[in-house]
Structure 1
Amino acid sequence: MSVKSLTSQPVRRERGSLPALAVVTLLTGLGAGLGGMLLALLLHGIQHLAYGYSVTHLISGESFLQGVSAAAPERRVLVLTLCGLVAGLGWWALYRFGRPLVSIRQAVKSDDPQMPLLSTTVHAVLQIVTVALGSPLGREVAPREIGSMLAGWLSRRAGLSVAQSRIMVACGAGAGLAAVYNVPLGGAVFVLEVLLGTFGWTALVPAIVTSAVAALVAQAGLGNEHQYLVPSLTLSASLVVWSVVCGPIFGAAAWGFTEITKRSRAAAPKDWRLPVLSLLNFAIIGVLAMHFPQLLGNGKGPAGLAFDGGLTIGLAAMLLVLKVVITVSSLRAGAEGGLLTPGLANGALLAIVLGGLWSLIWPGASLGGFAVVGATAFLAASMQMPITAVVLMFEFTRVSQDFLIPVLFAVGGAYLGFQACAKWLPSLQLGFGFNWGAGSKAR
């Protein structure tokens, strides 16, 4: 069903001019890059204030995990309690007083691809603020929403056709992703594979241009750095065979994760219960973080530890269970955010467990190698984007192209495992249907 127009203006003509399309493409890349850069700087600034980073540490790039670990345990509880207040009151006020939100997928399929400017901006900023304070959800949706919102507004102003506007809204989302994570190719492939489902020239050219421009603009403020510092990893026969054997396991795990997060998000309240549940949820996460600071944030910390081989099997298993629980509970309480980096972290942690056990039988592969392969497989299956996941992981980590072999084996197995579970297993009833409230938001 198409989303109704947010304005009273008539539907645009069937074809917009190529010069107008070129201008919108360039401005979308510039705007998404600037928006992604500002959101990332806001994230880092709030983390600095909340957990007591020094200015020197902020400039030198001290990780969020290092800053959280150095903070007093009581401070973690206090900051997470504040996060619950911000999340609960912020989203309750947005649902109560703001215009109805339009997701990126809805806008891409709409006959009038527009997203409300103020509500979308507030929604994005709330995601960034809560993730900075320690929410376990991802920050990637916020820059995508800002990029799509801007692209829709520019398309209307330029008089582009509906088809062109849909493409530009999708490109705005990919450009936002490219900007905040410095993944120009990943952003473009995300547009083509996930949002538009086509690699045709009319979509390919603006997708590549907007993502490249956005990444270049964001580098001016964030630097030309990749997300994860991964040590030199070597390929082994043990890792290749493991990727074939364990690929379907990652797919099954990804299917279960997708089911419970989907149900939790659909059941999240929008009324007065949202602030209450949000405050309770994040206060509990703060207590857990007194002992496990790795839980805080979007999952970059534990994923980085996994890639670096800095986790034991026992700690990885504990973090995996707790990470899934707090991600699900945060969605159920009404918090918003992405699942890209949380899914990547889950895959890396699961890979440490499976890879560590495998090494007892067939040694020779590093734990970091297992983590890279497993994270890609889980991400590909959980978000149903195999090509995008592979591209993103190689841009995230800059690992050797030799790893394409086990990564592709694992991704293929995970994708098939996910599809098999979706086809043959009944819908899970996992206990998240309590009558706390209702509401469903497509992301």
Structure 2
Amino acid sequence: MTSYERQRRPVPLLKKRLPSGQGSTVQPNVTSDGDTPLTVRFWVLVALVGVVSGVVGSALMKLLFAVEHLAFGVGSDGQGFTAAVERASGWERATPVLIAGVIGGVGWYLLRRFTPGMSSEADAVLWAGTDRLSFRRSAGTSVLSEVVIGLGASLGREAAPKLMGAVAGGLIGEWARLTDPQRRLLIACGGGAGLAAVYNVPLGAALFTAEVLIGSVTLTTVMPAVGCSAVAAAVAWVFLSDEPIYPGVVDHAVDGRLLVWAVIGGPVIGVLAALYIRVIGWISFHQARGAWVIVAMPVVFAGLAGLAVVYPQLYGNGRSIAHDAFLGLGSLGVLAALAVLKPVVTALCLGAGASGGLFTPVLCTGAAIGAVGGVLFGHLWPGSPMGAYAMIGAAAMIGAAMQAPLAGLVLVVELTHSGLPIMVPMIIATVLATAVTRRIDGYSIYSARIAGQAPVDPVLSRPSGGDPR
């Protein structure tokens, strides 16, 4: 028997080989399902997790939009958040985020005080494989996260849907008495499906599941991930929008300028991504704990309110920063300031004890850096639009920061419904940035936040466990 003659599992329906006599197992990704057999029953559960993730993700977005409407008069679909913040003046702009500091500080203190030892970190549970996600703690932190973000906190809105999708996968897997590997795959699919639902990115979310949450882009991982994310996105269309998150972004023609800038900018963004990740990791370990959260969060959010007097774009997840950069809007000075300030205020919000995502804050930072770098490069070699540089910068930064170049590239394309003509420079910059970040450090924005030996929680007088928050 040659090395090609591996045993096929499951056994194919057609037993007879092709006339060539070659076995199907020559192609290594069709040989076996491994320890996660893709049975009909498992596929039904994958679809069920997709439905639940789509519904829960939509509900969390509706909660976010309702809070934004009450706080700033934003429309019911969440569009025009920054414009609404800009219209608010004085205390009308500051009051919501000050309230967020009080709600978040008290809310997270009580939640963590009365759910000791319970986990609400999907990444930690997936990678350690020794814990269970707590529904109570996960639901509480998800609701609090969306409320404070709706009031202006500088955090990503995707963390809560991702977490609750993972919770759905875990609960359904336990109910169905799946094996541990199957349950782990279902948790990961649920996490990716939550992302797919709220950002309408089924393919990018599936790659996020495979590259980041599972760490294996194989047939038996990608198929359930794609299926689950597609179901979640379709379900979310009923409640949310099927439009891209960043509408109106035009395709840009590729040229030599973009290729050269990708070669130069990619490594630079890789260094900046490594620095960003280090800051996130350091602040996650040293963030406020116990009763200190009640004090730290209002203080930090008050500082955010002060900065927002000049830069209202700092409120929320940074969607408007990225959108303006993609559209080629904004001055060089404003974009440069936002590229520096957005990571700072996001890190401080985490340091104050808040829970939230980093996807859009990192993406918008990359877009701003790309736009600024492109404008400066344009003085030497003019001709290419700012928006093209912003697209390249966003893909490079998020790919490097997640340590997932495939997911980063596809997510930027799906979020904007554009970018294919400049895919080659986007790939060059993303690969270079990811390689540089990996060589410098190796952490991602997700692994950097997971605690190893966590410090002692002064309220509980015990290690705070696997949840770094």
Q: Tell whether the structures are fold-level matches, with TM greater than 0.5.
A: yes
Three-state SS of the structure 1 residue aligned to 2:309 is helix
Match of 1:43 in 2: 64
User: Deviation of residue 141 (structure 1)?
Assistant: 1.2
1:92 is displaced (CA, Å) by: 0.8
Query: Which letter maps to 1:249?
Result: V
Question: Counterpart amino acid of 2:221?
Answer: A
For residues 136 and 457 of structure 2, the distance between their equivalents in structure 1, rounded to whole angstroms, comes to 28
| Structure 2 match to 1:11 | none
User: Counterparts of 2:153 and 2:175 in 1: how far apart (Å)?
Assistant: 36
| Counterpart code for 1:271 | G
Is 2:372 aligned against 1:353? Answer: yes
Alignment of 1:254-333 (within 5 A): 254-333=273-352
Structure 1 contact 266–441 (Cα < 8 Å) conserved = no
Q: Specify the alignment match of 2:242 in structure 1.
A: 224
Give aligned-pair identity as a percent.
34
**What is the letter of the counterpart of residue 398 of structure 2?**
L
Give the distance between the partners of 2:429 and 2:92, measured in 1 at CA.
40
* Structure ID, larger Rg: 2
2:67 is equivalent to residue 73 of structure 1: no
> Cα gap change, 1:87/1:181 in structure 2, threshold over 3 Å: closer, same or farther?
same
**Inter-partner Cα distance in structure 1 for 2:130 and 2:182:** 11
Contact 1:273–1:436 (8 Å) recurs in 2: no
Residue 211 (structure 1) aligned with residue 229 (structure 2): yes
Contact in 2 for aligned 1:246/1:410 (Cα 8 Å)? yes
Distance 1:112 1:292 in 2: 43
Deviations 1:266-295 (Å, cap 9, x if unpaired)? 111221111101000001111111221111
Distance across 2 between alignment mates of 1:146 and 1:93: 20
Alpha-carbon contact 1:112-1:162 (below 8 Å) kept: no
2:100 corresponding residue in structure 1 = 83
Q: Is the 8 A contact 2:251 2:421 kept in 1?
A: no
**CA drift at 1:442:** 5.3
User: TM-score, normalized by length of structure 1?
Assistant: 0.89
* Aligned-residue offset at 1:417: 1.9
Aligned equivalent of 1:420:
439
Please show how residues 43-62 of structure 1 align to structure 2 within 5 Å. 43-53=64-74, 57-58=75-76, 62=79
Query: Do the aligned partners of 1:184 and 1:215 also contact (CA within 8 Å) in 2?
Result: yes
Q: Secondary structure at the match of 1:58?
A: coil
Q: 125-134 or 111-120: which moved more?
A: 111-120
Query: What TM-score, normalized to structure 2?
Result: 0.85
TM-aligned CA deviation for residue 112 of structure 1:
6.0
CA distance in 1, matches of 2:212, 2:282: 21
Paired position in structure 2 for 1:143: 161
Match of 1:180 in 2: 198
Match of 1:343 in 2: 362
Letter in 2 for 1:66: A
Aligned to 2:441, the other structure's residue is in SS state helix
How far the C-alpha of 1:24 sits from its partner, in A, is 1.3
CA contact (8 A) 1:16 1:159 kept: no
Distance 1:305 1:235 in 2: 20
State the shift of 1:110 in Å: 5.4
Q: Is 1:158 aligned to residue 176 of structure 2?
A: yes
Tell me the residue number matched to 1:63. Answer: 80
Say if 1:377 and 1:164 are closer, same or farther in 2 by CA, change over 3 A. same
Alignment of 1:116-127 (within 5 A): 116-127=134-145
Q: How many residues align?
A: 415
CA contact (8 A) 1:243 1:407 kept: yes
Say if 1:315 and 1:16 are closer, same or farther in 2 by CA, change over 3 A. Answer: closer
CA separation in 2, counterparts of 1:379 and 1:15? 30
Q: Which consecutive residues of structure 2, in runs of 5 or more, have no partner in the other structure? A: 1-34, 443-455
Structure 1 unaligned residues grouped into runs of 5+: 1-13, 424-434
Aligned to 2:267: 248
Match runs of 1:355-394 below 5 Å: 355-394=374-413
Q: CA deviation at 1:408?
A: 0.5
Cα 1:355/1:109, change in 2 over 3 Å: closer
Give the match for residue 28 of structure 2.
none
- Quick one: structure 1 residues 275 and 355, their matched pair in 2 at CA, closer, same or farther if it must change by over 3 Å? same
